[in-house]
Amino acid sequence: MTPWGVHLDYIDPSVNAGQDFFAHANGKWLKTAEIPPDRPFAGAGLEVSKLNEERMKEIVAGLSASSDPSSEEGKLRSLYDAFTDEAQIEAKDLGPAAKDLERIAGLKTLEDVAKEIADPALPLDGPFGWNLGADDKDPDAYVVRFGQAGLGLPDRDYYLKEDKALADTREAYKSYLAQMLGFAGVKDAARAAAVYDLEYALAQASWPAADRREAEKTYNPMTISELSKLAPEYPWAASVSASGISLKSARGDRVVIVAENTAFPALAKVFAKTPVAVWRDYLTVRYLHGFAPYLPKKVDDADFAMYGTRLQGRVRQLPRATRGARFLDIRMGEALGKVYVAKFFPPESKAKVQALVQNLLQAYREDLSTLDWMTAETRKKALEKLDHFTVKVAYPDHWRDYSALEVKRDDLVGDVKRANAFEWNRQVKRIDEKVDRTEWGMTPPTVNAYYNPSANEIVFPAGILQPPYFDAAADDAVNYGAIGSVIGHEISHGFDDQGSKYDGLGVMRTWWTDVDRKSFDARTTALAQQYDAYEPLPGLHVNGRLTLGENIADLAGMMIARKAYHISLAGKEAPVLDGYTGDQRFYLAFAQSWRSKQKDESMRQRVLSNPHSPPAFRVNGVVRNDDGWYAAFPEIKPTDAYYLPPDRRVHLW
The mean pLDDT of 589-614, rounded to a whole number, is 98
Report the distance separating Cα 506 and Cα 140, nearest Å. Answer: 9
The pTM (predicted TM-score) of the whole model is: 0.96
Q: What is the mean pLDDT of residues 282-298?
A: 99
In a domain, 413, yes or no: no
Does residue 460 belong to any structural domain of this protein? no
Last residue of a domain, one of 264, 295, 326: 295
Q: Is the pLDDT of residue 4 over 80?
A: no
**281 and 167 assigned to the same domain:** yes
pLDDT band at 293 (very low <50, low <70, confident <90, very high): very high
Q: Do β-strands 255-258 and 252-253 pair in parallel, antiparallel, or remain unpaired?
A: unpaired
H or E element: which one contains 349? helix 347-370
Q: Are residues 216 and 364 in the same domain?
A: no
Q: Residue 625's closest CA among 520, 530, 550?
A: 530
Compute the distance between CA of residue 451 and CA of residue 494 in angstroms, rounded to an integer.
Answer: 7
Of the chain, the percentage scoring pLDDT greater than 90 comes to 97
Out of 295, 310, 331, a domain closes at 295
| Any domain includes 606 | yes
Confidence bin at 251 (pLDDT 50/70/90):
confident
Is residue 2's pLDDT more than 80?
no
What is the reported pLDDT for 326? 98
The whole-number pLDDT of residue 216 equals: 98
Supply the Cα-derived Rg of the chain in whole angstroms. Answer: 25
Q: Which pLDDT does position 410 carry in this prediction?
A: 97
Q: Give 84's pLDDT tier (boundaries 50, 70, 90).
A: very high
612, 546 in Cβ contact below 8 A? no
Query: How much is the mean pLDDT over the chain?
Result: 97
Q: The CATH number of the domain where 275 resides is what?
A: 1.10.1380.10
pLDDT average, residue stretch 230-245: 98
Q: What is the pLDDT of residue 49?
A: 97
pLDDT of residue 208: 98
pLDDT of 428 above 90: yes
Mean of pLDDT values over 108-129: 97
- My answer on whether 13 and 128 are in the same domain is no
Least confident piece of the model among 147-156, 242-251, 530-539: 242-251
Which residue among 295, 318, 336 closes a domain? Answer: 295
261 and 125: one domain? Answer: yes
How far apart CA 101 and CA 299 sit, in angstroms, is 14
Residue 273 has pLDDT above 90, yes or no: yes
Average pLDDT on 464-481 reads: 94
User: What are the pLDDT digits (tens) for 626-653?
Assistant: 999 999 999 999 999 999 999 999 999 8
Q: What is the mean pLDDT of residues 612-623?
A: 99
Confidence band of 3 (pLDDT split at 50, 70, 90): confident
| Count of structural domains within the chain | 2
**pLDDT for 388:** 98
Per-residue confidence band for 5, with pLDDT thresholds at 50, 70 and 90: confident
Specify the pLDDT at position 414. Answer: 99
User: Is 267 found in the same domain as 124?
Assistant: yes
CB within 8 Å of 24: residues ≥ 6 apart: 11, 12, 13, 15, 16, 17, 591
- Is 208 within the bounds of a domain? yes
- Tell me if 634 is assigned to some domain: yes
For residue 64, name the pLDDT band (cuts at 50, 70, 90). confident
Q: Report how far apart the first and last C-alpha atoms of the chain are (Å, whole number).
A: 32
DSSP string, 509-545: ---S-HHHHHHHHHHHHHHHHHHHT--SBTTB---TT
Residues of the chain above pLDDT 70, percent:
100
Tell me if 502 sits within 8 A of 453, measured CB to CB.
yes
What pLDDT shows up at residue 301?
99
On the question of pLDDT at 491 being above 90, the answer is yes
**pLDDT value at residue 653:** 83
Q: Is pLDDT at 202 greater than 80 in this prediction?
A: yes
Is 338 within a domain?
no
| Band of pLDDT at residue 209, cut at 50, 70 and 90 | very high
- The answer to whether the CB of 615 falls within 8 A of the CB of 22 is yes
Q: List the domain range (segments joined by +) for residue 628.
A: 8-33+360-388+476-648
Question: Same structural domain for residues 202 and 284?
Answer: yes
Are 288 and 367 members of one domain? no
| Sheet strands side by side (includes 128-135) | 128-135, 138-148, 255-258, 220-223
What CATH number has the domain bearing residue 551? 3.40.390.10
Mean pLDDT over 426-441 rounds to: 97
533 and 634 share a domain?
yes
